[in-house]
Structure 1
């Protein structure tokens, strides 16, 4: 399975106000392994200025973008790169909305959702951790992904962090691993994209849960179901007599 973990930076928050994409970062995963076939570009936003508030977040200035290509110069390449993949995006509606607007300006009148499936990791995190913070920084802390070098938001950096978080959220038997230094108690888990390159065909290790673990899981679900007054999200996992 081919997945693209994607993030963008923009000139502002509202696509309906004509704001534009100024950076896109994509990390390709095949069978949950990084391939190093990433896509990263800075993009000149034509005649749209960057909002001061947006620049404070991502640190990208118009001066920096002065010699960068416009979307019309790279949009077709990006479309071909994304088409047919499963997109993994944090707050997907935001990025998809901006990219659809950019592709429409290019003359591509199809939406990304018509040629790609989309996983919104915000929605996924809210299902997994109801009532908890689900921004990328909070998820990095929860899953022990090292984000200490994240002074500004950056599309490729955030896509790489999100890839680590997504793989951790969806099952530990993934492309994530531990550095030798992280074997010490309390050490943070770090991405191993470089070490894993070239190993995309390696079989994934699958760890099956035992009967005791299944029973403990069921007991936990019963407790949650009781305390929530029968509002357990995963109620279909309980025997009919329980609820």
Structure 2
């Protein structure tokens, strides 16, 4: 299974805004492959001050760096994500921005050649009532994001990949000490429903015993049979 964890930064929110950075990391069979896709893009319009305060990217810097426009990178970008399941935090926003760029160029929308998984929706289902931002999930799963002073598409995609793998079958023993953010101070009891949800969503590998291991196991059972009233595993 090939997945691409994706994030974008934009000139703002709302009609007519454009993408100015794309960051993607590749995951195959729940393993980070080391392949990534990252581009800064000249959005060909002004950047809202509120958006610039979030990601720290200015139009002057993009022009100074000679960044390409979206039309220049659309083919390579679509080639990188084609056929993958896109893992996105709040996918409706990023897919909407991508499809707007595709429409301007007269090419098919994202869902014609990719599927999506929204980690924001998944987090809200797994931890109802708790904060589901990327920062909150990093805290929940003890993932270090101290180097994230500003939002950046590639950095956020890398962090999201770690969060997603933990959410869907990573080291779930870390959850034993986690409290929902909205229950601080109400005790340290386990949320059984939360753990059952995690177990149901986990994608754990099946590793069969080798012939030598089976033989060793049978020898151990023979020894137990001789020293007791019989091995429980054989009853």
- Asked if TM exceeds 0.5, the reply is yes
* Stretches of structure 2 lacking an aligned partner (at least 5 in a row): 178-189, 199-235
Aligned to 2:54: 57
- In 1, Cα distance between the equivalents of 2:51 and 2:32? 30
Q: Does 1:96 align with 2:105?
A: no
What SS does the aligned partner of 1:9 have? strand
Match of 1:150 in 2: 148
Give the corresponding residue for 1:117.
Answer: 115
1:173 shift after superposition: 6.1
Deviation at 1:127, TM superposition (A): 0.6
Once residues 107 and 114 of structure 1 are traced to their aligned partners in structure 2, the CA distance between those partners, rounded to angstroms, is 13
Looking at structure 2, the residues matched to 111 and 83 of structure 1 have their Cα atoms a distance apart, in angstroms, of 11
**Are the structure 2 counterparts of residues 173 and 131 from structure 1 closer, same or farther at C-alpha, using a change threshold of 3 Å?**
closer
Aligned partner of 1:69 in structure 2 is 68
Runs of 5+ consecutive residues of structure 1 not aligned to the other structure: 175-185, 187-216, 225-232, 235-243
Superposed, 1:225-240 pairs within 5 Å as none
Which residue number in structure 2 is paired with residue 45 of structure 1?
A: 43
- Rg comparison, structure with higher value: 2
CA gap of 1:165–1:220, structure 2 versus 1, over 3 A, is closer
Superposition deviation, residue 40 in structure 1: 0.1
What is the TM-score with the length of structure 1 in the denominator? 0.70
What does residue 223 of structure 2 align with?
none
Question: Tell me, what secondary structure is at the counterpart of 1:38?
Answer: strand
Across the two proteins, how many residue pairs are aligned to each other?
A: 179
After the TM superposition, which parts of structure 1 deviate over 2 Å for at least 4 consecutive aligned residues? none
TM-score (norm 2): 0.72
How far off is 1:23 after superposition?
A: 0.2
Partner of 1:27 in structure 2?
25
Report the Cα distance in structure 1 between the residues aligned to 2:171 and 2:135, rounded to whole angstroms: 22
Shift in Å, 1:220: 4.0
